[in-house]
Amino acid sequence: MTTTSAPDERPSVAMKDEAYGALRASHALWAGTSVLITNRRGQVLLQRVTYRPTWLLPGGALDKGESPAQGAARELEEELGVTATLTRGLAVDWVSPTGRATPPAMNFPGELLHVFDGGVWDDDQIAAIRPCPGEIDGIEFVEPADLPALMAPDDARRALSALRARINGAGPVFLEDGLPLAPTVLDRVGVLYTARARHHLSFHPMPVPADLPVRQSWVWAFAPDGRVLVLLEPDTGAAVLPGGTPEPEDGGDPVATAVREAREEAAAELAGARYFGYLSDPDGPCARVRYAAILMSLDAAQVDPATSRTYVRILATPEQALEFFDWGPSAAEQQLTAAHQARVLLGIPKATHQPVTELTDPISW
């Protein structure tokens, strides 16, 4: 074999196979695999293990000659008693020798760790989990924002990056110590790093009762390609739909509230608003109404007078948008169905699956 053994050697220097193998072995890394699984609320499955103080995604080290996908499936069966075929990768992370806290005696050389998509599990799949006695003390589905408090720093970064990659849908991402080499807007603003808005309220696809005051008016603003406008807080990554609290200048008209708030928060102009239901708040009691509308244009981003923030504006499919909120499975799915029905009435097509798009410049459709 002709190769080089050091950077300053000429490429023509011949190296015997034995020496070449020894050279490559001296640069060997560990290889590992893990699986990202969520429930219908978008919470992430973590394991409490007996051999570490922090929680982990299902997974572990690869056996000799084992592929990452085979190893991920084996670990699911050994740790959770679940049989699965894993075909979709979310991330490949290069964990540097200093990127993980390990005892010096371990001589950690670094690791290549693959993260696979285990999918969204329903109640029956979750009920079928049988944690391995003596290794897995328990499992729990936790909010994405709680991962940094429960996991080692590098594990939490990797899990959040993989989860954002799954939501974004642009394919597997390459990470270094848990951070993407090419951050998306979701990574840049830290989506899911802070707690999602939690509104576990009942959804009603009907008019608001006359005796129930309207305290909030939100809108699913559909662009011509079927995606919706989502606003991200630049300092926390928290997501909101355009809308807000009625003001006296709205004259008691929830549509006027939604249009005004979209203009103030996102410099967005809306048209053709269609009501499709409300959320009831038993603590109020009050109604939080929902509309669908056509997103006509966006001007240059501006400071929202109510929050003093300049929101980051993205277009996402309605299904992607749901991942940024915690409305509870029932209400979220009901809202999604109602929003799609309103979209059809507006003459907007269903969005194809695609990565989110950040909107930085003025645009008209």
Q: What pLDDT sits at residue 2?
A: 47
Q: Rounded CA gap, 256 and 247, in Å?
A: 9
Residue reference for tokens 């809108």? 219
Q: Are residues 162 and 260 in the same domain?
A: no
Query: Model confidence over 197-247: pLDDT tens digits?
Result: 888 999 999 999 999 999 999 999 999 999 999 999 999 999 999 999 999
Q: Does residue 229 belong to any structural domain of this protein?
A: yes
Query: Model confidence over 335-348: pLDDT tens digits?
Result: 999 999 999 999 99
Share of the chain above pLDDT 70, in %: 96
Range of the domain at 259: 202-364
Pull the structure tokens for residue 340: 């799609």
Name, in order, each residue with C-beta under 8 angstroms of 67's C-beta and a sequence gap of 6 or more. Answer: none
Q: Does residue 22 belong to any structural domain of this protein?
A: no
Q: Are residues 161 and 262 in the same domain?
A: no
Q: Rounded CA gap, 10 and 207, in Å?
A: 79
- Alpha-helical segments (H) within the chain: 17-26, 68-80, 123-127, 147-150, 153-168, 185-189, 254-266, 318-322, 329-345
Q: Does residue 315 belong to any structural domain of this protein?
A: yes
Q: Are residues 50 and 163 in the same domain?
A: yes
Query: Model confidence over 233-287: pLDDT tens digits?
Result: 999 999 999 999 999 999 999 999 999 999 999 999 999 999 999 999 888 899 9
Q: What pLDDT sits at residue 22?
A: 73
Inter-residue contact 297 to 262 (CB < 8 Å): no
Q: What is the overall mean pLDDT for the chain?
A: 93
Name, in order, each residue with C-beta under 8 angstroms of 142's C-beta and a sequence gap of 6 or more. Answer: 43, 44, 46, 55, 150
Query: Model confidence over 102-130: pLDDT tens digits?
Result: 888 878 888 999 999 999 999 999 999 99
Q: What DSSP designation does 211 have?
A: T
Q: What pLDDT sits at residue 8?
A: 53
Q: Are residues 225 and 166 in the same domain?
A: no
